[in-house]
Amino acid sequence: MAEEMKDLALEVKNLNIRFETDDETVYAVNGISFDLEKQKTMALVGETGAGKTTTVLSLLKLVQSPPGVVNADTLKVVGNDVMKMTATELEAMRGKDIAMIFQDPMSSLNPVMTVGEQIAESVMLHEGLDEKAAMEHAKEMLALVGISGDRVNDYPHQFSGGMKQRVVIAIALACRPSILIADEPTTALDVTIQAQVLELIKKLKDEYKTSTILVTHDLGIVAETCDIVAVMYAGKIIEYGSLEEIFNHTKHPYTEGLFNSLPVMGGDRSQKLKPIKGLTPDPSKIYPGCTFAERCPYATEKCTQGFPEYKKFGATHIVACSRYDEPDFHIERKEID
């Protein structure tokens, strides 16, 4: 065994995922690499179709196959190679080492099981508790997420959207997983309820010392909850860095475009939004150059030839943009100190 340099919760090298159907092959994730240190929270940011959800699903080996084909040089969850796991090992890992909160609380709960049974289920499986003890634990978990323990025998339809998402969180955290994957956990919720749920995730993260990946399209949520940001575009990470690096020293033209498109409350109302022109690329095509080149205001000839190499700025900031070959190249978004 090679010596671990850092204490890593997740280790992903050169992850590729494609979906093969009769008509076409869709290249969803194209060579992603990242590490997640323990107790850190990483945001996976991007728009619809960027491959965020597919990436995190592969960490639990939940990409449906066929049509999905997953390849990776390394895909390790708390040091264990997910690619080599048997079905039994996967079952032992899911919910215990790594747990997931899905976007839509309405469809991720079983409508014919009480919420208590759904929380108890994983505890009985992983911790070997008997039913009575597991239901007691379910009550404690409900209380932890701010729902009265008396409601342990209620069914999902008896809860509101925000409360259902709390139940989903309680299920995910029931076995104190080392890693929590939250896939757009608040997108289906109202802002005031979103605030409650985000506060809860933050609190539990500190209490349980979980490492977290937060999948979101909302840069506001990222600013408030994450340590590290990976920006995805067309199945690739195009910029990666600390919160400070991404927000205040933005380097990639796509990241700049995202910030410029965003209406910011309290901003200058006389200024118009600056959207990114065009549309996201067709994932069934293979692009020889930078996938963002055709929408990029800075693109030159060379951008269409070969995907740019990752360049490192500072300690952790990594950017995939060929224009930085030129020593004096910079984007317009101002750096903030």
Partner 1 sequence: MSEVLLDVRNLTKFFQTPRGTLHAVDGVSFTIEKGKVLGIVGESGCGKSTTGRAILRLHEPTSGEVFFEGRDVCKANKTEMKQLRRDMQLIFQDPFASLDPRMAVNELIREPLIRNHITKGKAETEKRVKELMDLVGLAERLYNAYPHELDGGRRQRIGIARALAMEPKLIVCDEPVSALDVSIQAQVINLLADLQEELGLTYIFITHDLSVVYYFADDIAVMYLGKLVEKAPAEELFKNPVHPYTKALLSAIPIPVLGAKKDRIVMRGEITSPINLPDACRFAPRCDFACEDCKAHDCALEEISPGHFVACHRWRNFVE
Q: What share of the chain is helix, strand, coil (3-state, %, to 5)?
A: 35, 25, 40
| Count of chain residues binding partner 1 (CB under 8 A) | 48
Helix (H) / strand (E) containing 45: strand 41-45
Residue in 217, 302, 311, 333 binding partner 1, rule: CB under 8 A? 217
Euclidean distance between CA atoms 290 and 247, whole angstroms: 22
Position 88 contacts partner 1 (CB under 8 A): no
Q: Is 23 in the site for partner 1 (CB under 8 A)?
A: no
Distance CA 308, CA 314 (A): 18
Instruction: Note whether 218 binds partner 1 by CB under 8 A.
Output: yes
Q: Phi and psi of 177, rounded to 5°?
A: -65, 150
- The closest of 271, 277, 316 to 294, measured between CA atoms, is 277
The residue range among 77-85, 100-108, 256-264, 304-312 that interacts with partner 1, by the rule CB under 8 A, is 256-264
**Contact residue for partner 1 among 29, 82, 123, 163 (CB under 8 A):** 163
Please identify which residue in 66, 111, 128, 266 interacts with partner 1, judged by CB under 8 A: 266
- Check residue 267 for interaction with partner 1 (CB under 8 A): yes
Contact status, residue 147 vs residue 114, Cβ threshold 8 Å: no
Which of residues 10 and 254 has its CB atom nearest to partner 1 in the complex?
254
- CA-based R_g, the chain, Å: 21
The minimum distance between CB 220 and partner 1, in angstroms, equals 3
Among 155, 208, 259, 298, binds partner 1 (CB under 8 A): 259
155 or 310: CB nearest partner 1: 155
261 counts as binding partner 1 under rule CB under 8 A: yes
In the range 39-68, which residues lie near partner 1 by CB under 8 A?
47-48
Q: Could you tell me the two tokens for 27?
A: 């290249």
Question: Greatest CA separation found in the chain?
Answer: 67
Shortest Cβ 43–partner 1 spacing (Å): 11
Site string for partner 1, 178-197 (x = CB under 8 A): ------------xxxxxxx-
Contacts of 234 (CB under 8 A, 6+ apart): 30, 49, 50, 51, 280, 281, 283, 287, 291, 292
Shortest Å, Cβ 226 to partner 1: 11
Residue 297 interacts with partner 1 (CB under 8 A): yes or no = no
Helix (H), strand (E) counts: the chain = 10, 13
Interface contacts to partner 1, rule CB under 8 A: 47-48, 160-163, 190-196, 198-199, 217-224, 243-244, 247-248, 257-267, 269, 272-277, 279-280, 336
